[in-house]
Structure 1
Amino acid sequence: MSEAPQKYTPRPMSNTTTYALGGVAIVTIALVVLLVMRWSNDEADVRNDGYGVVHNPAVVSVLAPDGTVLLGRVDAAKTIDVYEDPLCPACGLVERVYGQEIAQKIDGGELAVRYRFVNFLDPRSGSKNYSTRAVAANECVAEAGSGPVYAKFHELLFVTDQPEENKDDLTNQQLADLAREAGAGEEVVRCVGSGAKVDAATANAKATLDQLNGLLDGKAATPAVFDGPTRLDVNNENWVVDVTG
């Protein structure tokens, strides 16, 4: 992956960072990194900066048997699907730029999000299984049901504390500390720290990857956002407004 000059910050509306996987046998899949960026001296534009994460207590998190995490109010008008890998820097960029705008829409009942997690970047983590362990941690936190707590944990995982590829990542204890920082109870913290859901997360991430490959003609890529069968262009700076309009 190309390294950008440190004095520059990419403008997210004009860049696309996509991780694509092709092939049938997972063990033989080659990771292809496509990087297209236009650099600017300006800071990246964060949508609705200052709003913060979801804070409406009416927002809940629901963990489905397949590992999908639904975040939203029960009366949400629209639900979208977001496919992410916890180590994917482009996923982190999308969360950093649009996360607060999405949070406001979720709090207002205009939007709910189904987060669907894959783990194909495990080999690019220092521990070689970080993505899987982070997916498991998401499942622990989501299962408790608090939307604001889950939203804060998700923000810490993808924005504030996301590890870099091919470098040290977070231990289970560090993931548990993030869960506690997000406001999770001690039972949830123990679930994360013990890796209780790692086996389930492994199976769920594999099934989700298969699903994403089906949607993208065998070329699974993250981040991928869908409104029903339609893939949304997250490089369109108004995509959140458009999907809730």
Structure 2
Amino acid sequence: MSKDRKQQVPKVGKSGYKPQSNSSTMTYILFGVAIVVIAAVVIGGIVWSNNDGGEQVDESQLTNTALAIGEESAPVTIDVFEDFMCPACGQFEASQGQQILEAVNNKQLRVRYHMLNFLNRSSASGDYSTRAAAAFQCVADGGEKQDVIEKFHSTLFQNQPTEGGSTDHDNKQLAEFAADAGASSNTQACISSGARVKKAEENADAAQQTLAKATGGQVSTPSVLHDGKLVTLSDTWLTDLLK
């Protein structure tokens, strides 16, 4: 991403990133044209304007690749598609994360996370998105408490490497983040060894196909689905869903 395309960070966040379907490698572009300013004087927020030519995604496609937090009996379930290298996802977590967790802890909301990895090539190691997703999978598969999963998810975005930067976090550092979040020694060992990398790759591929179906091919992160349909992310999107 060239410096001359940087934009001022809005209240909710910048629009997502999407991989180029016609490239031989998984690259991305800043989907800046998707930012739509609505009623700026009255609302002061933004909307990620997503392609509405997609289809409703079947429930079976959403449960197969999800890492979930929240009660299964919660009245509202959302599917969140992210990449741990995605700056817009980091902004989404910073601006929306606390509200999401409050709704989860109040048993109003269940969140299923789907981690993509198309920003691997923007990381210094070339595979950070996948390894971070694998670490998150280890935490989820390790029987950790919900607050550990929540904290680890937030920690990865708070310590997000710079896209195109010269360094990122190795598996040992990811395991240390998990330890700080309260994860067990077994979970830390899972992360250090890269035990869930293959599974993370498979899940990322499946998640990208699922999101492509929901968006009509315009895959970008962060994206949210509710009842298998794409949600337009405004400054009131979650409040509206919880009504």
Instruction: State whether TM-score is above 0.5.
Output: yes
2:119 corresponds to: 121
Structure 1 residues 30 and 190, CA gap change in structure 2 (3 angstroms): closer
Q: Does 1:140 align with 2:122?
A: no
Q: Which runs of 5+ in 2 are unaligned?
A: 38-44, 46-61
Q: Does 1:162 align with 2:183?
A: no
Deviates more, 1:74-83 or 1:106-115: 74-83
- What SS does structure 2 have at the residue aligned with 1:17? coil
Aligned identity (percent) is 35
What displacement does 1:79 show? 0.5
1:33 corresponds to: 30
Structure having greater relative contact order (Cα 8 Å, sep ≥ 6): 2
What is the Cα-based RMSD across aligned positions, in Å? 2.6
| In 2, Cα distance between equivalents of 1:179 and 1:72 | 20
What displacement does 1:32 show? 2.3
| In 1, Cα distance between equivalents of 2:30 and 2:5 | 18
What displacement does 1:189 show? 0.5
For residues 68-83 of structure 1, the aligned pairs below 5 Å read: 68-83=66-81
Q: TM-score, normalised by structure 2?
A: 0.81
Structure 1 residues 5 and 198, CA gap change in structure 2 (3 angstroms): closer
Instruction: Tell me, yes or no, if the aligned pair for 1:69 and 1:114 is still in contact at 8 Å.
Output: yes
| In 2, Cα distance between equivalents of 1:152 and 1:178 | 9
1:50 corresponds to: none
Provide, for residues 204-237 of structure 1, a one-character-per-residue CA deviation record: whole Å limited to 9, x for no partner: 1111111111222222111101111332222x11
Instruction: Tell me, yes or no, if the aligned pair for 1:67 and 1:139 is still in contact at 8 Å.
Output: no
| In 2, Cα distance between equivalents of 1:117 and 1:111 | 19
| In 1, Cα distance between equivalents of 2:160 and 2:20 | 25
2:191 corresponds to: 192
- What SS does structure 2 have at the residue aligned with 1:126? coil
| In 2, Cα distance between equivalents of 1:109 and 1:170 | 34
Q: Does 1:89 align with 2:110?
A: no
- What SS does structure 1 have at the residue aligned with 2:219? strand
Alignment match of 2:109 (pick from 111, 116, 128): 111
Q: What is the letter of the counterpart of residue 229 of structure 1?
A: G
Q: What is the letter of the counterpart of residue 112 of structure 1?
A: R
| In 2, Cα distance between equivalents of 1:4 and 1:107 | 41
Aligned length: 217
| In 2, Cα distance between equivalents of 1:125 and 1:30 | 11
Q: Does 1:228 align with 2:227?
A: yes
| In 2, Cα distance between equivalents of 1:240 and 1:2 | 32
| In 2, Cα distance between equivalents of 1:29 and 1:189 | 29
1:101 corresponds to: 99
Q: What is the letter of the counterpart of residue 179 of structure 2?
A: R
- What SS does structure 1 have at the residue aligned with 2:16? strand
Q: Which runs of 5+ in 1 are unaligned?
A: 39-44, 46-63
Provide, for residues 62-102 of structure 1, a one-character-per-residue CA deviation record: whole Å limited to 9, x for no partner: xx984410110233111000000110000110110011111
Instruction: Tell me, yes or no, if the aligned pair for 1:67 and 1:201 is still in contact at 8 Å.
Output: no
| Greater percentage in strand | 1
Instruction: Tell me, yes or no, if the aligned pair for 2:128 and 2:168 is still in contact at 8 Å.
Output: yes
